[in-house]
């Protein structure tokens, strides 16, 4: 009898398995795909020698994760590489607002009227960032807040919609960059707690940057898997779990899956029927003949580049995908260019380039042309650099990873109460109707991203139970 079986080797499943194994529990992990990684993987999707991240590529949440920071992942080959600028947001006039490690540089890029309001927004939180990150990523109630006063202040600033928070800015530059930050989790800009989402990405940049992982995001997963094996855990790939009976006897089962899949596998009937999935994305991985020819010099130095002419255009694109059921004409795009700092991703002089835009759930069209028209606005001549492209819309994303239901890369809408309370309204969201079955995917708090904190929090619930029942 094993102590714990984990299903799904995404960052959360791997973290849950590691957390249990390092506390002396016997753990086996089962993964449907032939390699570990889930949303943190790297593959040669286009041409030989071009190493693409089909899913996550930029890691503000990974480098700031209290769970990852407590693990010896560097010893297992993980190396964070920091671009000169974490993020840039270019405008049609050839200039750009930036998210820099330095608050002063960031504030200056917003223009004189918004430099002060931006500093006043972020500076109170920065000295307490590590404690704050631990407190809000551990909620709800897996640990008591260490600094309740700062957490409450953060809640006051972040719980209202981001459109309230950005009222303090006078000009479009800061408003646009901030709207783009919120759009990283596909949340509507006017949604509950969307201010907090934007704030987290900004604070993360100032605290530790938005790095990429050397060699690709796979190295995060490989480091977790290597550590798990050294701790005595076993990993079984190519093993899709369809029923609980497919798994060996164990005292606890931890699912890094969607709530819907868990309900089907464990026979929970309609338990998660109220769980909602969000819009999908259309992803393109490019092999390029050289770097992206951005007009704005700042964009050439940034790891991540957001594309959206202004906050209204970003809001329109999000609404089209999430509420109006149509693909946006001018998609808001997040792009990552790992080659600015990691030469291992492509042959000498060449680059990989990563981009996605939002589309309705399950959308079957092709967004390539609309995305490339957007890119040409800010990087004229982009198309001439394209050697090859690999595209994936919602059906392909869902086929690659069952957690991305309808192409929703957040494994559940980040909107309304579900932003904070997922997968159900519960004080112990990692528990399920079965006392030995737990859920640890990004459908649980603190939500999407490669940070392993859902796995960490779920593991805590599991080891408490295992210690109570010898
Ligand atoms: C295109 C894209 C871009 C993204 N960009 C970023 C980014 O830049 N930065 C960032 O931090 N995050 C990003 N994300 C989000 C991030 O990848 C996810 O939030 C994160 O991977 C969630 O981790 P997880 O462990 O909960 O689930 P996943 O990583 O999805 O892993 C789940 C695993 O479970 C396996 N599985 C599912 N069902 C079964 C079953 N029945 N039996 C066995 N195995 C099963 C799957 O095969 C998968 O390996 C992106 C995601 C996508 C798709």
Read off the pLDDT of residues 378-414 as tens digits, 9 standing for 90 and up: 999 999 999 999 999 999 999 999 999 999 999 999 8
- Which mutation among 30, 242, 450 tests ligand 1's pocket best, with the greatest number of atoms within 8 A of CB? 450
- What would the mean pLDDT of 236-261 be, rounded to a whole number? 97
* Cα(401) to centroid(ligand 1), Å: 7
Half-sphere exposure (Cβ direction) of 247: Cα atoms closer than 13 Å: 30
pLDDT at 416: 82
- Which mutation among 6, 7, 10 tests ligand 1's pocket best, with the greatest number of atoms within 8 A of CB? 10
Residue bearing the bigger pLDDT, 408 or 140? 408
Rounded to an integer, what is the distance from CA 55 to the centroid of its chain? 9
Q: How far, in Å, CA of 404 to CA of 8, rounded? A: 13
32 Cβ closer than 6 Å to some ligand 1 atom: yes
67 Cβ closer than 6 Å to some ligand 1 atom: no
Note whether 298 and 85 are within 8 A (CB). Answer: yes
pLDDT at 161: 85
Angle CA(283)–CA(348)–CA(77) in degrees, nearest 5?
Answer: 70
* Cα(280) to centroid(ligand 1), Å: 14
448 Cβ closer than 6 Å to some ligand 1 atom: yes
* Cα(404) to centroid(ligand 1), Å: 7
Read off the pLDDT of residues 167-209 as tens digits, 9 standing for 90 and up: 999 999 999 999 999 888 776 777 788 888 899 999 999 999 9
Q: How far, in Å, CA of 309 to CA of 126, rounded? A: 29
Structure tokens at 213: 């992982």
Q: How far, in Å, CA of 118 to CA of 168, rounded? A: 8
pTM of the model: 0.96
Query: Which domains are delineated in the chain?
Result: 2-42+59-79+214-276+410-468 (3.50.50.60)
- Average pLDDT of the chain is 95
Note whether 207 and 64 are within 8 A (CB). Answer: yes
* Cα(257) to centroid(ligand 1), Å: 9
Q: How far, in Å, CA of 407 to CA of 38, rounded? A: 14
The residues pairing with 358 across neighbouring beta strands, listed in sequence order, are 281
* Cα(136) to centroid(ligand 1), Å: 21
Reported as a pLDDT band with limits 50, 70 and 90, residue 422 is very high
Q: How far, in Å, CA of 407 to CA of 309, rounded? A: 25
- Ligand 1: which residue has its CA nearest to atom 32? 10
Give the H or E element holding residue 30.
strand 27-30
pLDDT at 149: 92
339 Cβ closer than 6 Å to some ligand 1 atom: no
pLDDT at 162: 84
DSSP string, 285-347: EEEESSS---SSHHHHHEEEEEE-SSHHHHHHHHHHHHTS-S--SS--EEEE-GGGT-GGGSS
Q: How far, in Å, CA of 300 to CA of 351, rounded? A: 12
Position in ligand 1 atom list of the atom nearest CA 397: 53
Position in ligand 1 atom list of the atom nearest CA 239: 43
* Cα(442) to centroid(ligand 1), Å: 8
- Strand, coil or helix: what is 65? coil
Read off the pLDDT of residues 281-332 as tens digits, 9 standing for 90 and up: 999 999 999 999 999 999 999 999 999 999 999 999 999 998 899 999 999 9
């Amino acid at each position: 009898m094993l102590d714990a079986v984990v299903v799904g080797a995404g960052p959360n499943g791997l973290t849950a398995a590691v957390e249990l194994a390092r506390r002396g529990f016997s753990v086996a992990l089962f993964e449907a795909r032939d390699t570990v990684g889930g949303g943190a993987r790297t593959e040669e999707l286009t041409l030989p020698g071009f190493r693409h991240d089909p899913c996550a590529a930029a890691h503000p949440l990974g480098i700031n994760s209290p769970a990852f920071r407590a693990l010896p992942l560097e010893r297992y080959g993980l190396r964070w590489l920091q671009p000169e600028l974490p993020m840039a947001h270019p405008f049609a006039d050839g200039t750009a607002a930036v998210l820099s490690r330095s608050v002063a540089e960031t504030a200056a890029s917003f223009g004189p009227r918004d430099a002060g309001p931006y500093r006043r927004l972020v500076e109170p939180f920065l000295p307490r960032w590590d404690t704050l990150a631990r407190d809000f990523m551990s909620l709800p109630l897996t640990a008591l807040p260490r600094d309740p006063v700062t957490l409450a202040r953060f809640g006051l600033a972040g719980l209202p919609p981001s459109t309230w928070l950005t009222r303090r800015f006078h000009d479009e530059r800061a408003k646009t960059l901030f709207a783009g930050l919120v759009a990283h989790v596909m949340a509507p800009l006017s949604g509950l707690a969307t201010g907090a989402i934007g704030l987290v990405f900004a604070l993360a940049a100032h605290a530790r940057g938005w790095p990429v992982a050397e060699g690709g995001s796979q190295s995060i997963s490989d480091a977790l898997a290597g550590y798990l094996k050294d701790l005595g855990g076993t990993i079984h790939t190519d093993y899709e779990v369809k029923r609980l009976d497919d798994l060996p006897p164990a005292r606890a089962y931890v699912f890094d899956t969607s709530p819907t899949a868990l309900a089907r596998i464990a026979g929970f009937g309609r338990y998660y029927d109220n769980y909602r999935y969000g819009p999908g994305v259309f992803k393109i991985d490019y092999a390029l003949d050289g770097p992206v020819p951005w007009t704005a010099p700042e964009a050439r130095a940034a790891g991540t580049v957001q594309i959206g002419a202004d906050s209204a255009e970003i809001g329109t694109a999000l609404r089209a995908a999430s509420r109006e059921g149509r693909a946006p004409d001018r998609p808001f795009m997040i792009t990552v260019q790992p080659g600015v700092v990691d030469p291992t991703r492509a042959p000498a002089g060449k680059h990989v380039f990563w981009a996605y835009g939002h589309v309705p759930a399950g959308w079957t069209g092709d967004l390539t042309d609309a995305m490339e028209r957007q890119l040409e606005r800010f990087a004229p001549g982009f198309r001439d650099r394209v050697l090859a492209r690999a595209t994936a819309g919602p059906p392909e994303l869902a086929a690659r990873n069952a957690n991305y239901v309808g192409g929703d890369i957040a494994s559940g809408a980040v909107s309304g109460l579900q932003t904070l309370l997922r997968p159900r309204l519960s004080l112990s969201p990692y528990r399920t109707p079965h006392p030995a079955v737990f859920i640890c995917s990004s459908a649980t708090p603190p939500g999407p991203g490669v940070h392993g904190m859902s796995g960490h929090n779920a593991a805590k619930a599991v080891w408490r139970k295992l210690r109570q029942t010898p």
